[in-house]
Structure 1
């Protein structure tokens, strides 16, 4: 009985470590995607400003 409890504890710790690693990886992916999104939004804003300038001259 004590052995089963110990094994369950070990399995739980391994699972927690695995989930923490996955969470860290997903957080890094989210950070990278957020940076790409910010860059894309800045590009869109710049292009919108250019389009507004061009349409003023029509």
Structure 2
């Protein structure tokens, strides 16, 4: 499932880094914190790997 906005893609990338241990979980805020708790590594990978070109900045 691809991300629907640049903000969602960026949050998924931050959550994925925390889940893999590349970034401390304490640095997560908002959506990325919730994504890290509720999504699997595979799901986060799908969201984070979405190409940003053509995506809106924020989902309306």
**TM-score normalised by length of structure 1:** 0.29
User: Which of the two has higher C-alpha Rg?
Assistant: 1
Which of structures 1 and 2 has the larger relative contact order (alpha carbons within 8 angstroms, sep 6+)? 2
Structure 2 length-normalised TM? 0.28
Larger helix percent: 1
